[in-house]
């Protein structure tokens, strides 16, 4: 007897599990939460009548229908609430036997203990059957009428049929997604599973049931196996009801991002694709979801419980529904998920406002929105608009809430709020699926439920006896599958008086501590004011300063407000125009001086470099995030700065080494051209385009630093490095961390300094990440497998003195900083160049003609730049028009400085205000316009221009000035030139359709002041079929000749 037949026998022994037989039913006198077909929001019908005929909703009226079909059962629903059944878009029904075992489990522990690979050797088909059946009945009892079951119990043909048969017998509406996965413990591969799936899909087993077959697969990316194509083809061949995948990028490494699945041409088909979790979703992925109308499944409780969280889901709820996930670990019902998610969203967006010391004046999410996510959105995710709603013609999947008698709902008026905020599963009176009652009068409408219960408990006891002796996995010092370390999370302290938990946070002396801190700050301010008055008596005056009435914070509130509006560069430009070459602002106890003219830069930064090359004290960014190992943030008098600067010059950035890096630059930009040419979607929207530019810049420099590349746009290492660099840079912006403005806050005990705890944890993570790269490179060298080209880290390893650095580990950390410094500025510069070409198309056309007349049909290379002076002018004007670091990284003075009739005191923070200088109309005619011709005749490199003794002849100040000028100008010239030439040669640069003109830069601001962000409406398309053919041929040749490299993310 086949196992699937045996299970039918088992089902017959317990009676028909499916609900009470279908007939016509009229619910009378109810409050009905209904939808109009054209409206996304529900409407409330009071004292209504809802008629069900067979499996559909036939009518919804406010008076009793004059005629009813024969054999219609009339059900009194006076003062009750009728809502759509809930839809669960992510569940693993078979795991019910584990209930209460995983109450404190992390995701890493789950994989090693309760996941399908860990469970496969211990669960037989009967265990799967009873667990699946009990789990789905539990869901029905909670009003979950539809479940998308990611059925990863398919580690044998028998267990697969067991779960499917249980789903059929349950009476629930189930989208049962057969999971394809290699199961090493049982030597059971995807290749083995494919014929079993085909047999199941063709068996006719699902006819006349509420179950439809789908596919679940978790190896779409990164680096999918060859068999992934076969799985995708199966989905299309059988036109399955759904495809679903666990999407967990970031440190978890289980990517399966929308862009991964899109590479298999699945997103644009009629098949719905549901991405479970979508944690660490990329901008490219989010855009693809919207373009292709595919959905995330947010599982709020599991994502909080297990620790994979949902950092981006708050921003894409228009393409999301809700799920439960592993119901054995926590609540099985969607009502709880919706309630948790509602308050999580509120907390998240409230905190955004409160973190700026502002008071929220509106609620960011309504109960109606959360209710829709739990119902209608699930139907849309599955592309079944007839599910999750109450309207004529929709499926009769309903919940009747006992609002008339429940103590929890006493006094309700708003039915949606009553359900979302006050009801519980115990308030569910009836549940109907497909017109059949599966729960009635508060009890499951199932024959012989006691038999099912007894059989399940026998199975569960057997499983729990096996697991009683299993230790939880230990992860000390180990990497996960994504190449990231496991870490201990801080354990909550809930006992009184321990000093780092509940007791510590509410110690009696806390108020005294804060009061003392404030008092100390005031004393410091008074003392500094007195000292300044004594010290400055008879000295030259300070430069002018904008007025402020805030005696403690000074100008900080105004600057923070401007920063929130992405206008801080414009504020400092305005003040420069009003107060001249030098002015200062007050940030708490500090004065920040802004240098706003080329002559002042020459006098202060260049000629007085010995007194103006130190850095301020950045407590968070420099001391805690970077542990004083970041070249950019160190003071020039420190030994580490001098040794790192020397190692950078001799190991990476001098002229000869910049030329040696050209092959990597040429290859990676050619790969970029080919990627965009082969997949027009990447060039059709800014988010994937930004990712592609990021890939080639990071890969170019990681190849030169570590000999490791970044081959894929969706590599988690791109977001990881970008986020690391951004955190360091944002931390040095004026006012970003209050502790840098009010240093006295650094005296607080550690438990009151979350910024320090987070920063030090970040440094530990980053340092170990870098050491892992060092370990891999050394292993390659020792094995004779290192790439033949010389890299920065290899030069350090092979130099007896490590190029003057203290250790190889510190060198690897410096390597990461060099990748960040080179890549991010190159990426931002390229993005700003594209903004210029959009805004000034005449310049774009002229530059393209220059390139075409010089190189014709071949791909340009850096060596062509000398033959195209206009392209160098475009580069110079790009850096002038949008300097990557608009307000400069601040220096500090080591003694009083005199400039003209003003004194800049010792210890002052000074900024090279490149934005204001570049907008000075006395230096640059019509500065807001992009005019490359202003540099006509200037063929100097960036280094040659910066070294000019006549500062008025200098092209721009994007690289800084003085002793701390950016050491990477040779590399920057090459990177930017090749990017500009190749983009113009290969692509038409145009606006997204529907873009409002004229372009307003403030409508797409970036993280760095004055630079465009990801909303910039740019589109790249290949100029001609001939260009496409040339790109393909050149890239194929480059691939054949390229040396092999391991990926940086490995």
The pLDDT confidence band at residue 477, using thresholds 50, 70 and 90, is low
Helix (H, G, I), strand (E, B) or coil at 996: coil
Decide: 484 and 769 in contact? Cβ < 8 Å: yes
Q: So what's the pLDDT on residue 516?
A: 46
Nearest partner of 908 among 591, 663, 682, judged by Cα = 591
Predicted TM-score of the model (pTM): 0.59
Q: With 80 as the cut, is the pLDDT of residue 4 above it? A: no
Examine residue 771 and state whether it is found in any structural domain, yes or no: no
Nearest partner of 733 among 569, 843, 845, judged by Cα = 569
Examine residue 910 and state whether it is found in any structural domain, yes or no: no
H helices then E strands: how many in the chain?
A: 36, 27
Q: Per the annotation, does 966 bind a ligand?
A: yes
Alpha helices in 468-540, H assignment, sequence order: 502-505, 510-536
Output the CA torsion sign for 943, 944, 949, 950.
Answer: negative
Q: So what's the pLDDT on residue 166?
A: 96
Q: Which of 194-203, 210-219, 748-757 has the lowest mean pLDDT?
A: 748-757
The pLDDT confidence band at residue 474, using thresholds 50, 70 and 90, is low
Strand-pair partners of 398: 84, 432
Region 953-962: mean pLDDT is 94
Which one of 444, 463, 482 terminates a domain? 463
Q: If you average pLDDT over each of 107-121, 231-245, 515-529, which comes out highest? A: 231-245
Q: At what angle do helices 125-141 and 3-13 cross, to 10 degrees?
A: 50
Examine residue 603 and state whether it is found in any structural domain, yes or no: no
Between 474 and 856, the higher pLDDT residue: 856
Examine residue 7 and state whether it is found in any structural domain, yes or no: no
Q: How many residues does the chain have?
A: 1050
Examine residue 48 and state whether it is found in any structural domain, yes or no: no
The pLDDT mean for the chain works out to 89
- Rounded distance, CA 861 to CA 87, Å? 56
Helix (H, G, I), strand (E, B) or coil at 161: helix
Helix (H, G, I), strand (E, B) or coil at 31: strand
Decide: 388 and 377 in contact? Cβ < 8 Å: yes
- Digit-coded pLDDT (tens) for 575-591: 999 999 999 999 877 89
CA distances from 502 to 103, 496, 508, 745 (A): 22, 6, 12, 21
Region 613-636: mean pLDDT is 91
- Rounded distance, CA 403 to CA 415, Å? 9
Strands 436-440 and 428-433: antiparallel
- Rounded distance, CA 824 to CA 885, Å? 11
Q: So what's the pLDDT on residue 9?
A: 36
Output the CA torsion sign for 713, 716, 717, 718.
Answer: positive
Q: What angle do CA 295, 331, 467 make, to 5 degrees?
A: 110
Nearest partner of 638 among 969, 904, 967, 964, judged by Cα = 964
Q: So what's the pLDDT on residue 204?
A: 86
Examine residue 1001 and state whether it is found in any structural domain, yes or no: yes
Q: With 80 as the cut, is the pLDDT of residue 641 above it? A: yes
Strand-pair partners of 215: 178, 243
The DSSP symbol for 499 reads S
Q: At what angle do helices 157-170 and 125-141 cross, to 10 degrees?
A: 30
Which one of 438, 463, 488 terminates a domain? 463
Which one of 412, 429, 463 terminates a domain? 463
- Digit-coded pLDDT (tens) for 686-711: 889 999 999 999 999 999 999 999 98
- Digit-coded pLDDT (tens) for 511-567: 444 444 555 555 555 555 555 554 555 589 999 999 988 888 889 889 889 988 989
- How far, rounded to the nearest angstrom, does the alpha carbon of residue 148 sit from its chain's CA centroid? 25
Q: So what's the pLDDT on residue 733?
A: 74
Q: Any residues with CB less than 8 A from the CB of 291 and at least 6 apart, and which?
A: 267, 681, 685
Number of Cβ within a 10 Å radius of residue 119: 24
Examine residue 634 and state whether it is found in any structural domain, yes or no: no
In b/e form, how buried is each residue of 361-372, taking b as 16+ CB within 10 angstroms? eeeebebbbbbb
CA distances from 574 to 247, 367, 562, 915 (A): 46, 44, 12, 11
Decide: 606 and 961 in contact? Cβ < 8 Å: yes
Decide: 622 and 628 in contact? Cβ < 8 Å: yes
Region 53-80: mean pLDDT is 94
Q: With 70 as the cut, is the pLDDT of residue 734 above it? A: no
Decide: 327 and 135 in contact? Cβ < 8 Å: yes
CATH number at residue 282: 3.20.20.140
% of the chain with per-residue pLDDT over 90: 64
Helix (H, G, I), strand (E, B) or coil at 916: helix
Number of Cβ within a 10 Å radius of residue 1037: 11
Residue 838: what are its φ and ψ, rounded to 5°?
Answer: -65, -40
% of the chain with per-residue pLDDT over 70: 91
The pLDDT confidence band at residue 15, using thresholds 50, 70 and 90, is very low
Number of domains in the chain: 2
Residue 80 half-sphere exposure toward CB, CA atoms < 13 A: 21
CATH number at residue 928: 1.10.630.10
Helix (H, G, I), strand (E, B) or coil at 1020: strand
Region 954-972: mean pLDDT is 92
The pLDDT confidence band at residue 978, using thresholds 50, 70 and 90, is very high
- Digit-coded pLDDT (tens) for 642-672: 999 999 988 888 888 889 899 999 999 999 9
Measured in Å, how far apart are the chain's first and last C-alpha atoms? Answer: 48
Q: What angle do CA 269, 272, 274 make, to 5 degrees?
A: 130
Range of the domain at 939: 639-708+780-887+922-1047
Examine residue 25 and state whether it is found in any structural domain, yes or no: no
Nearest partner of 327 among 236, 407, 425, 421, judged by Cα = 425
């Amino acid at each position: 007897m086949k196992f699937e037949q045996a299970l039918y026998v088992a089902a017959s022994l317990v009676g028909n599990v499916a609900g009470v037989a279908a007939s016509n039913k009229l619910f009378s006198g109810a409050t009905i939460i209904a939808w109009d077909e054209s409206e996304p929001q529900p409407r409330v019908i009071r004292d209504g009548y809802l008629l069900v005929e067979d499996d559909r909703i036939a009518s919804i009226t406010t008076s009793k229908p004059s005629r009813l079909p024969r054999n219609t059962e009339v059900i009194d629903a006076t003062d009750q609430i009728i809502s759509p059944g809930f839809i669960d878009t992510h569940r693993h029904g078979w795991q019910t036997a584990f209930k209460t075992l995983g109450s404190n489990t992390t995701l890493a522990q789950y994989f090693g203990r309760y996941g399908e690979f860990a469970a496969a050797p211990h669960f037989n088909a009967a265990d799967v059957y009873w667990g699946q059946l009990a789990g789905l009945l539990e869901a029905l009892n909670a009003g979950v009428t539809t479940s998308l079951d990611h059925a990863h119990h398919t580690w044998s043909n028998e267990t697969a049929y067991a779960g499917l048969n249980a789903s059929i017998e349950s009476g629930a509406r189930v989208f049962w997604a057969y999971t394809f996965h290699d199961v090493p413990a049982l030597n059971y591969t995807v290749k083995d599973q494919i014929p079993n799936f085909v047999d199941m899909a063709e068996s006719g087993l699902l006819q006349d049931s509420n179950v439809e077959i789908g596919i679940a697969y978790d190896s779409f990316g990164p680096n999918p196996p060859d068999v992934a194509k076969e799985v995708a083809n199966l989905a299309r061949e059988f036109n399955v009801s759904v495809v679903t995948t666990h999407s967990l990028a970031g440190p978890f490494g289980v990517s399966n991002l929308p862009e991964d699945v899109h590479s298999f041409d699945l997103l644009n088909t009629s098949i719905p694709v549901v991405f479970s979790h979508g944690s660490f979703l990329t901008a490219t992925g989010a855009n693809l979801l919207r373009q292709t109308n595919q959905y995330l499944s947010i599982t709020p409780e599991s994502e909080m419980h297990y620790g994979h969280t949902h950092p981006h889901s708050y921003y894409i709820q228009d393409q999301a529904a809700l799920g439960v996930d592993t119901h054995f670990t926590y609540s099985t019902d969607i009502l709880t998920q919706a309630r948790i998610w509602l308050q999580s969203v509120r907390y998240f967006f409230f905190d955004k406002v409160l973190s700026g010391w502002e008071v929220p004046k509106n609620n960011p999410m309504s109960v109606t929105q959360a209710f829709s996510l739990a119902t209608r959105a699930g139907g849309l995710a599955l592309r079944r608009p007839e599910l999750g709603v109450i309207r004529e013609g929709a499926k009769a999947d309903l919940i009747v809430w006992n609002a008339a008698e429940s103590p929890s709902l006493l006094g309700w008026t708003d039915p949606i709020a009553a359900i979302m905020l006050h009801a519980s599963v115990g308030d569910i009176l009836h549940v109907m699926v497909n017109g059949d009652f599966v729960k009635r009068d508060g009890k499951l409408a199932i024959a012989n439920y006691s038999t099912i219960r007894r059989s399940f408990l026998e199975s569960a006891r057997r499983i729990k006896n096996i697991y009683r002796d299993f230790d939880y996995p230990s992860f000390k010092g180990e990497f996960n599958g994504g190449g990231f370390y496991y870490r201990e999370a801080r354990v909550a302290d809930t006992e009184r008086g321990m000093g780092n938990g509940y007791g510590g946070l509410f110690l009696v002396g806390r108020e005294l501590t804060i009061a003392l801190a404030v008092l100390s700050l005031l004393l410091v301010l008074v003392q500094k004011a007195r000292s300044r008055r004594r010290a400055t008596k008879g000295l030259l005056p300070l430069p002018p300063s904008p007025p402020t009435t805030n005696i403690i914070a000074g100008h900080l509130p105004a600057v923070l407000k401007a920063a929130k509006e992405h206008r801080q560069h414009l504020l400092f430009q305005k003040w420069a125009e009003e107060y001249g070459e030098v002015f200062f602002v007050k940030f708490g106890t500090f004065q920040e001086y802004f240098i706003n003219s080329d002559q002042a830069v020459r006098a202060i930064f260049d000629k007085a470099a010995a007194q103006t090359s130190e850095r301020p004290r950045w407590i968070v960014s420099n001391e805690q995030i970077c542990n004083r190992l970041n070249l950019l943030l160190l003071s020039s008098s420190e030994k580490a700065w001098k040794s790192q600067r020397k190692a950078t010059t001799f190991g990476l950035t001098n002229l000869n080494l910049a030329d040696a890096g050209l092959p990597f630059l040429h290859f990676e930009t050619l790969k970029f051209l080919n990627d965009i040419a082969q997949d027009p979607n990447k060039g059709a929207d800014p988010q994937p385009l930004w990712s592609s530019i990021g890939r080639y810049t990071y890969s170019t420099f990681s190849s030169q630093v570590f000999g490791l590349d970044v081959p894929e746009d969706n590599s988690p290492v791109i977001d990881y490095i970008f986020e690391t660099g951004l955190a360091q840079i944002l931390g040095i912006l004026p006012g970003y961390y209050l502790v840098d403005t009010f240093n006295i806050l650094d005296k607080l005990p550690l438990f009151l300094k979350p910024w320090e705890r987070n920063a030090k944890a970040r440094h530990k993570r980053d340092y170990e990440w870098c050491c892992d790269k060092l370990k891999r490179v050394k292993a390659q060298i020792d094995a004779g497998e290192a790439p033949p080209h010389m890299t920065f880290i290899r030069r350090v390893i092979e130099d007896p003195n490590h190029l003057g650095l203290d250790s190889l580990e510190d060198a690897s950390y410096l390597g990461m900083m060099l990748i960040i410094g080179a890549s991010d500025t190159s990426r931002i510069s390229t993005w700003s160049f594209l903004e210029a070409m959009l805004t000034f198309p005449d310049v774009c056309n002229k530059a393209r003609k220059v390139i075409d007349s010089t190189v014709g049909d071949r791909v340009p290379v850096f060596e062509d730049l000398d033959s195209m002076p206009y392209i160098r002018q475009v580069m110079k004007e790009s850096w002038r028009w949008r300097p990557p670091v608009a307000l400069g990284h601040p220096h500090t003075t080591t003694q009083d400085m005199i400039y003209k009739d003003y004194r800049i005191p010792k210890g002052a923070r000074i900024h090279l205000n490149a934005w204001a200088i570049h907008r000075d109309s006395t230096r640059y005619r019509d500065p807001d316009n992009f005019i490359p011709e202003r540099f006509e005749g200037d063929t100097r490199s960036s280094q040659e221009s910066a070294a000019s003794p006549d500062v008025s002849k200098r092209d721009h100040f994007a690289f800084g000035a003085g002793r701390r000028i950016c050491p990477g100008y040779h590399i920057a010239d090459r990177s930017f030139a090749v990017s500009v030439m190749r983009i113009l040669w290969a692509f038409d640069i145009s606006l997204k359709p529907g873009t409002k003109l004229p372009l307003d830069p403030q409508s797409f601001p970036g993280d760095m002041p004055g630079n465009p962000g990801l909303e910039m409406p740019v589109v790249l398309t290949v100029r001609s079929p001939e260009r496409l053919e040339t790109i393909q041929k050149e890239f194929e040749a480059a691939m054949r000749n390229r040396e092999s490299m391991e990926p940086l993310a490995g």
